[in-house]
């Protein structure tokens, strides 16, 4: 069983993941929570809670830390893991365990972020959470606009480095307001 919680940044994905984790524990399931090491040792939601997580930079390390009797595997910031490895991981384990993947769906180039869109297409249950667009303030944000500065005044160009993990350089925007890097 494979569930994906996708959508924009700052849209409540980690909040919904936290609910899934809490519910699984209430049902008596053994849950393991993993996250890319952005927040060391925790899954952190902007709405103000933390859940303990094993932070690992590779899918191989998730694999090596899996406990044999796990029922539910939750993975946050899944867009940052190697796409090929994460897709294979889901294909391999979904028969025996419940896998819940949370991550940002589209990157700042408007493209599939990591394995997210690929995994969404294979999942039994998909939630797409929209954020509030920084520009028009409507609750329709699905893509990220990336800037060179924390004040969000200078958009990046296509020559900027592809990877920037610091969230303060991004804003959720809707497709109408989104301006692709040129």
| Nearest distance in Å: CB 68, Zn ion | 47
**Based on CB atoms, which residue is closest to Zn ion, 100 or 129?**
129
* Residue 135 contacts Zn ion per CB under 5 A: yes
Cβ proximity of 90 and 114 under 8 Å: no
Residue pointed to by tokens 């609750």: 139
- The secondary element (H helix, E strand) that includes residue 17 is helix 13-26
| Nearest distance in Å: CB 106, Zn ion | 14
Q: One symbol per residue from 38 to 77: x for binding Zn ion (CB under 5 A), - otherwise; what is it?
A: ----------------------------------------
| Nearest distance in Å: CB 174, Zn ion | 4
CA separation (Å) from 8 to 25, 32, 78, 92?
Answer: 27, 24, 13, 27
**Based on CB atoms, which residue is closest to Zn ion, 83 or 171?**
171
Q: Is 134 exposed, middle or buried (0-12, 13-18, 19+ CB in 10 A)?
A: middle
Cβ proximity of 119 and 82 under 8 Å: no
* Residue 31 contacts Zn ion per CB under 5 A: no
**Quick one: which of 47, 60, 136, 165 contacts Zn ion (CB under 5 A)?**
136
| Nearest distance in Å: CB 83, Zn ion | 28
Residue pointed to by tokens 């589209």: 106
First-to-last C-alpha distance (Å) of the chain: 40
Chain residues 75-134 in contact with Zn ion, contact rule CB under 5 A: 133
Interacting residue ranges for Zn ion, rule: CB under 5 A: 133, 135-136, 174, 177
């Amino acid at each position: 069983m494979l569930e994906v919680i996708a959508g924009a940044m700052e849209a409540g994905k980690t909040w919904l993941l936290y609910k899934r984790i809490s519910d699984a524990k209430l049902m008596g399931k053994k849950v393991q929570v993993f996250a890319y090491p952005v927040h060391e040792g925790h899954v952190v939601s902007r709405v103000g809670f933390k859940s303990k997580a094993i932070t690992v930079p590779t899918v191989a390390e998730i694999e090596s830390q899996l406990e044999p009797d796990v029922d539910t595997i939750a993975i946050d910031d899944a867009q940052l893991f190697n796409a090929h490895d994460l897709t294979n991981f889901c294909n391999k384990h979904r028969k025996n365990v419940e896998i819940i993947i949370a991550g940002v769906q589209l990157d700042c180039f408007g493209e599939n972020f990591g394995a997210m869109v690929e995994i969404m297409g294979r999942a039994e249950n998909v939630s797409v959470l929209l954020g509030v667009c920084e520009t028009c303030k409507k609750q329709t944000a699905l893509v990220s606009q990336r800037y060179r500065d924390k004040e969000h005044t200078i958009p990046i160009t296509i020559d900027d480095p592809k990877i920037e993990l610091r969230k303060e350089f991004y804003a959720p925007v809707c497709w109408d307001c989104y301006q692709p890097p040129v």
